[in-house]
Amino acid sequence: MNNNIPENERAIWILKNEGEKTLKELAETLGVTTEGARFQLLKLSKDGYVKSESRAKGRGRPQQFWSLTQKGHAKFPDSHSELTLRLINKIKENLGEDTLTELISSTGQDNLQNYRTAIPETASLKERIEKLAELRNKEGYMATYEQKEDGNYLLIENHCPICAAATLCQGFCATELNTFQSVLGPNTKVERVDHILAGARRCAYLIQEK
């Protein structure tokens, strides 16, 4: 965990990166007592950053699961969202959808070139995914990756710093998926399995070696 995170925001950071948690799970991750975690959650709930839902998990009494509200997600910046939305609308109005599509494609090509420069062609698939996650993390996507038991990989982006723009024009998302496929090579298959714009808490990409 980033040591620069203020004490009163650590729970928000954990829920953003790891998804919903029970009180006990969050207390363990925070390294505090359940009462200490409860105090933090109640304060954050009062401020509108987190919410709880009572749900049965197996046998026994229902448990409270805590997650972020929209206000909680908004604690993580959407890069220059207001200006970006205005620019997108102006391009649509004055130059048309085709020009906007060309601009998004051109930006995707720039990103692809940057990634290819940073990721050696001789790198293994795991090394390429690791470097791609590192680059995306630096761009504000709170990106990580993991290897699944079946040997496939999952590239995870816990935040989308261009969410407002992507909501208005989903060409951004399509371009990103194509960029990942290109930079990871023709011997891989990249599939988006979680999508923030579809209501998921994160974007996640299943990467399989052909």
Location of each CATH 1.10.10.10 domain in the chain: 7-73
Location of each CATH 3.90.1520.10 domain in the chain: 81-209
The CATH T-level fold of domain 81-209 is H-NOX domain (3.90.1520)
CATH 1.10.10.10 is held by the domain 7-73? yes
pLDDT in single tens digits along all 210 residues of the chain = 555 566 768 899 899 888 889 999 999 999 899 999 999 999 999 988 899 888 776 677 788 889 988 888 878 766 556 666 777 778 778 887 777 878 888 888 888 999 999 999 899 999 999 999 999 999 989 999 999 999 999 999 999 888 877 777 778 898 999 999 999 999 999 999 999 989 898 999 999 998
pLDDT at 125: 96
**String of DSSP letters for the chain:** --TTS-GGGHHHHHHHHH--EEHHHHHHHHTS-HHHHHHHHHHHHHTTSEEEEEE--SSSS-EEEEEE-HHHHTTS--TTHHHHHHHHHHHHHHH-HHHHHHHHHHHHHHHHHHHHHHS-TTS-HHHHHHHHHHHHIIIII-EEEEE-TTS-EEEEES--TTHHHHHH-THHHHHHHHHHHHHH-TTEEEEEEE-GGGT-SSEEEEEEE-
